[in-house]
C-alpha cells in the first residue's frame, strides 16, 4: 500500500482501517537516515522552507501559557502522547510540504546527489528506486524525464520498471524492477558510459570488475 | 512386523518375500534355523543398503543464468540429446556465494567467495548445493588456477586491496588445507600504470610461468593496457623469480581461466596461449589478437612463432580450446554487430573458428551467432567438441562438432527460463 496524501488525510480524520492505520504509522515512525530526503529545486533555500514549516507547526500547537499544569502521575504518559502527536503533525506537514513542492514544481524537481567520500558508498532510498553512489560520485536525476547526468559509479535497483536515459548516451534504457544495474561514467566527453545488469558483471573487463569490488564489494 | 516394514521399504520386496517364504518352510531343524538367521542378516543388509539415497555421479555440469536473473546448476550424463529445464531440475544457487567464475573437478565446485576472504569447496547432494569446506584467502582476488599432480591446486590472483600485486595460494583440495601462499615477485605497476593483470598460469616441471600485463585506469569507466605481454618464470616450489620475458607483438595475455580457457598444450607439450587486446579485456583494440607459443622443453616465448588471428578474422577473439592434431577452436566477436561494452554481452555476435596452429589458417563454423562476452562453453572429448550456443533466434543448445569430419549437429537443449548457458564442464571423468 502506498502512502498518499489521501491516506494521510484519512488517518488524520481517524477514518483509516486497521491495516491502513498500521501502514501510515509504520511510515511515520520508521527511522531511516538514508530514506527519502526532501529534494528542493535549485535556488530554493532549504533553511527558509524549514522555518516556514516550523512556523506552521507553531501556529496550530497549544501555546505553553494556555496549558494546565499536568497531573504529575500522568506527566510521562502525556508527554509520550504529545510526542506522538507532534511527530504525526510534523510528518503530515513534511509530507504536505513535499506534495506542495511536487505539484508546484511540475515537472518534478531535480534530485542532486553527491558522495564526496573517497572510500565509502552512499545509499539513498526513493519511492521508485534505490541508488548506491560509489566514491567520488555526483549525480543529477530528473525525476520527470528519467535523465541522469553523473560522473562516477552508481548501482540502481528499481522498485518498478523505469525508463532511464544517461547524459551522453542517446539511448533510453529499461531498468527492470527487482534487478540491479551498474552504471559507470567518466568525467570527460570522450569517456564511455557503461551500463550493465549486475547479473552480467562477469562479462565486464576484469579491471572494471576490480573497481566495482573495491567500490561496492560486489 | 519387522519383516513387513522391510518389505514395504524397498523395491526388492517381491524377491525377499519369495526367499523368506521358501525359507520358513525349511525351518525343521537346527541347521535350517542357522540358514534362516543368515538369510535374515542378508535381508537386513540388502534393505539397509536400499534405504540410503543413491548419489548418482554425473559426467557434466551446466551453469545457467535464467531470464529472471537467477543462477542454476544442472548435472547430467549426456550433452548429446534431450532437453533440460533449469527451474525444474536445476539446483538454485541463490543461497551460496558462487558465480560462474569457478573451478570444477571430480564432482566438486570450487570458488572464491564474493564477499568473504574464503576459497570454498561445494558439492551438490540430493538437489542442494552445500559447502564442504573453506580455506582462508585474505586480500586475494582469484584470476587463474592450475591443477598440479593429484588434488594440489595452484590459485593465482591479485591482492584485492589495490590490485598491484600477484599472489598465489597452493591448496590440497581433498582436505582443503593450504600448503603454501605468498606474493609472486613481479614488479608492481610502473609509472602511469595503476594495476596488474594476471592472465596465464602454466607449469613445466620445476618452472612456473606467469603471463601478465599492466593497466592504466583513465576514469571511472575507462582504462587502457600496456602494449607489452610479460611472461615471468619462477622456480617451483621455491617461487623465486628467474626471468621476465617481454613481447610487444600483442598484449593482454590470456584472461581469467576461471571463466574461460585461453591456453593449452598440444600432444608434444608445446604450450600455446592467446592474447586478448579487444575491448572486452585489454581494451587495446589497436593491437591484434594473437597466439604465442613456448616450445616443448623451452623456458621462453618462441620469437619465431606468432599467429595473428585478427588478420584473417578481421576481429578480436576471446577464448581458445584445443581439439587435437594441431587444430583448435577460437571464439571471435563481430564488431559490426555490437555497439560497445553495454551490449557486448547481450547481443548475439560471437562466431567460432576452427584454426590450424601450424598452417595459420582459419575456417568459420556454421553455427548460430552466440551471445555472452566470456563463457566456458567448449568441452572436447575424442573427435567431438561440445559447444554451448546462446542464440537470440535459435534457442540455447549444445552443438556437437566433429572436427575430423566437420559435421555439426544440435544436441542437448536448455529450455524454460534459460537466458545464457554460462558454462559447461566435465564434472566427473569416467
Q: Does residue A129 sit in the same domain as residue A146?
A: yes
A30-44, A116-130, B291-305, B367-381: which has the minimum mean pLDDT? A30-44
Percent of chain A with pLDDT over 90: 15
Task: Dump pLDDT digits (tens) for B164-193.
Answer: 999 999 999 999 999 999 999 999 999 999
Residue ranges making up the domain that contains A202? 110-216
**How does DSSP classify residue A44?**
-
Within 8 A of A208 by CB-CB distance, chain B residues are 221, 223
Within 8 A of B341 by CB-CB distance, chain A residues are 192, 194, 196, 204-205
Within 8 A of B256 by CB-CB distance, chain A residues are 206
Distance in angstroms (rounded) separating the CA atoms of residues A145 and A153: 21
| Contact assessment for residue B328 and residue B261, using Cβ atoms and an 8 Å cutoff | no
Q: Which one, of B425, B371, B368, lies nearest residue B124 by Cα? A: B425
Q: Do A199 and B197 touch (CB under 8 A)?
A: no
Q: Does residue A141 sit in the same domain as residue A171?
A: yes
Residue A204 has pLDDT above 70, yes or no: yes
Q: Which of A104, A124, A146 is the last residue of a domain?
A: A104
Task: Dump pLDDT digits (tens) for B316-344.
Answer: 999 999 999 999 999 999 999 999 888 99
Residue B83 has pLDDT above 70, yes or no: yes
Measured in angstroms, the CA of B116 and the nearest CA of chain A are apart by: 10
Q: Does residue A143 sit in the same domain as residue A59?
A: no
Count of domains in chain A? 2
B100 closest CB neighbour out of A202, A208, A218: A202
Q: Do A213 and B141 touch (CB under 8 A)?
A: yes
Q: Does residue A91 sit in the same domain as residue A168?
A: no
Q: Which of A63, A78, A104 is the last residue of a domain?
A: A104
Q: Does residue A95 sit in the same domain as residue A139?
A: no
Within 8 A of A151 by CB-CB distance, chain B residues are 220
If you write DSSP's letter for every residue of A89-142 in order, what string do you get? HHHHHHHHHHHHHHHHTSSPPEEEEEE--SS--EEEE-SSEEEEEPTTEEEEEE
Q: Does residue A134 sit in the same domain as residue A210?
A: yes
Which residue from A minimizes the CA distance to B341?
A: A194
Q: Please state the domain extents for chain B.
A: 2-51
Distance in angstroms (rounded) separating the CA atoms of residues B224 and B214: 9
Mean pLDDT of B374-385: 97
Within 8 A of B259 by CB-CB distance, chain A residues are 202
Q: Which one, of B68, B66, B101, lies nearest residue B421 by Cα? A: B66
Q: Which of A203, A204, A216, A217 to mutate to test the interface with B (most CBs of B within 10 A)?
A: A203
Rg of chain A taking only CA atoms, in angstroms: 22
Within 8 A of A200 by CB-CB distance, chain B residues are 65, 345-346
A163-172, B115-124, B317-326: which has the minimum mean pLDDT? A163-172
B221 closest CB neighbour out of A194, A206, A213: A194
Q: What angle do CA A45, A48, A52 make, to 5 degrees?
A: 140
Residue A182 has which C-alpha cell?
Answer: 551498474
A195 closest CB neighbour out of B283, B342, B372: B342
Residue linked to cell 551522453: A168
Mean pLDDT of A171-190: 84
Q: Mean pLDDT score of chain B, rounded to an integer?
A: 90
| Contact assessment for residue A129 and residue A177, using Cβ atoms and an 8 Å cutoff | no
Q: Does residue A83 sit in the same domain as residue A119?
A: no
Q: Which of A78, A104, A130 is the last residue of a domain?
A: A104
Classify residue B258 as exposed, middle or buried by CB count within 10 Å of its CB (0-12, 13-18, 19+): buried
Distance in angstroms (rounded) separating the CA atoms of residues B125 and B55: 7
**Hey, is A171 helix, strand or coil?**
coil
ipTM tops 0.85: no
Amino acid at each position: 500500500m502506498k502512502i498518499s496524501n489521501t491516506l494521510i488525510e484519512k488517518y488524520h480524520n481517524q477514518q483509516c482501517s486497521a491495516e491502513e492505520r498500521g501502514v501510515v504509522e509504520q511510515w511515520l515512525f520508521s527511522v531511516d537516515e538514508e530514506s527519502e530526503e526532501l529534494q528542493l529545486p535549485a535556488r530554493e533555500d532549504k533553511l527558509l522552507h524549514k522555518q516556514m514549516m516550523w512556523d506552521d507547526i507553531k501556529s496550530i500547537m497549544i501555546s505553553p501559557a494556555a496549558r494546565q499544569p499536568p497531573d504529575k502521575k500522568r506527566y510521562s504518559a502525556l508527554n509520550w502522547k504529545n510526542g506522538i502527536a507532534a511527530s504525526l503533525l510534523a510528518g503530515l506537514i513534511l509530507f504536505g510540504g513535499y506534495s506542495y513542492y511536487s505539484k508546484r514544481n511540475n515537472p518534478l524537481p531535480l534530485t542532486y546527489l553527491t558522495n564526496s567520500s573517497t572510500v565509502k558508498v552512499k545509499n539513498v532510498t526513493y519511492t521508485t528506486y534505490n541508488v548506491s553512489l560509489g566514491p567520488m560520485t555526483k549525480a543529477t536525476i530528473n525525476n520527470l524525464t528519467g535523465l541522469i547526468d553523473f560522473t562516477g559509479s552508481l548501482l540502481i535497483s528499481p522498485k518498478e520498471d523505469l525508463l532511464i536515459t544517461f547524459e551522453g548516451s542517446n539511448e533510453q534504457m529499461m531498468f527492470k524492477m527487482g534487478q540491479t544495474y551498474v552504471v559507470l561514467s567518466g568525467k570527460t566527453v570522450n569517456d564511455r558510459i557503461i551500463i550493465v545488469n549486475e547479473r552480467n558483471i562477469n562479462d565486464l573487463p576484469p579491471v572494471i570488475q576490480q573497481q566495482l569490488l573495491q567500490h561496492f564489494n560486489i | 512386523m519387522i519383516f513387513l516394514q522391510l518389505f514395504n521399504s524397498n523395491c526388492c520386496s517381491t524377491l525377499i518375500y519369495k526367499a523368506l517364504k521358501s525359507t520358513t518352510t525349511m525351518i525343521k531343524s537346527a541347521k535350517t534355523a542357522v540358514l534362516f538367521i543368515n538369510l535374515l542378516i542378508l535381508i537386513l543388509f540388502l534393505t539397509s543398503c536400499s534405504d540410503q539415497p543413491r548419489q548418482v555421479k554425473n559426467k557434466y555440469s551446466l551453469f545457467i543464468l535464467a531470464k529472471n536473473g537467477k543462477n542454476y546448476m544442472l548435472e547430467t550424463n549426456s550433452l548429446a540429446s534431450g532437453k533440460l529445464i533449469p527451474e525444474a531440475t536445476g539446483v538454485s544457487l541463490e543461497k551460496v556465494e558462487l558465480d560462474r567464475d569457478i573451478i570444477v573437478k571430480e564432482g566438486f565446485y570450487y570458488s572464491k567467495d564474493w564477499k568473504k576472504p574464503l576459497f570454498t569447496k561445494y558439492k551438490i547432494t540430493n538437489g542442494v548445493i552445500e559447502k564442504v569446506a573453506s580455506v582462508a584467502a585474505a586480500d586475494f582476488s582469484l584470476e587463474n588456477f592450475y591443477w598440479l599432480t593429484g588434488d594440489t591446486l595452484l590459485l593465482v590472483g591479485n591482492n584485492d586491496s589495490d590490485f598491484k600485486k600477484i599472489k598465489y595460494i597452493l591448496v590440497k583440495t581433498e582436505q582443503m588445507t593450504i600448503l603454501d601462499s605468498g606474493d609472486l615477485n613481479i614488479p608492481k605497476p610502473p609509472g602511469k600504470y595503476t594495476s596488474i593483470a594476471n592472465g596465464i598460469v602454466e607449469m613445466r616441471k620445476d618452472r612456473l610461468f606467469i603471463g601478465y600485463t599492466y593497466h592504466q585506469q583513465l576514469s571511472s569507466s575507462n582504462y587502457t593496457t600496456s602494449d607489452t605481454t610479460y611472461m615471468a618464470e619462477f622456480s617451483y616450489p621455491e617461487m623465486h623469480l628467474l626471468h621476465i620475458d617481454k613481447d610487444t607483438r600483442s598484449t593482454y595475455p590470456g584472461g581469467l581461466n576461471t571463466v574461460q580457457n585461453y591456453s593449452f598444450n598440444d600432444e608434444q607439450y608445446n604450450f600455446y596461449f592467446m592474447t586478448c587486446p579487444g575491448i572486452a579485456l585489454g581494451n587495446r583494440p589497436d593491437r591484434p589478437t594473437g597466439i604465442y607459443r613456448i616450445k616443448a622443453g623451452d623456458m621462453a616465448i618462441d620469437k619465431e612463432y606468432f599467429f595473428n588471428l585478427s588478420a584473417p578474422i578481421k576481429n578480436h577473439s576471446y577464448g581458445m580450446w584445443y581439439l587435437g592434431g594441431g587444430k583448435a577452436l577460437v571464439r571471435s566477436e563481430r564488431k559490426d554487430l555490437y555497439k560497445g561494452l553495454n551490449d557486448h554481452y547481450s547481443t548475439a555476435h560471437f562466431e567460432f573458428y576452427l584454426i590450424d596452429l601450424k598452417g595459420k589458417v582459419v575456417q568459420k563454423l556454421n553455427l548460430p551467432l552466440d551471445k555472452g562476452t566470456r563463457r566456458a562453453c567448449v568441452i572436447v572429448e575424442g573427435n567431438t567438441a561440445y559447444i554451448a550456443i546462446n542464440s537470440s533466434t535459435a534457442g540455447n543448445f549444445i552443438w556437437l562438432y566433429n572436427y575430423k569430419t566437420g559435421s555439426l549437429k544440435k544436441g542437448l537443449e536448455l529450455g524454460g527460463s534459460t537466458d545464457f548457458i554460462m558454462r559447461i564442464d566435465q564434472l566427473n571423468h569416467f
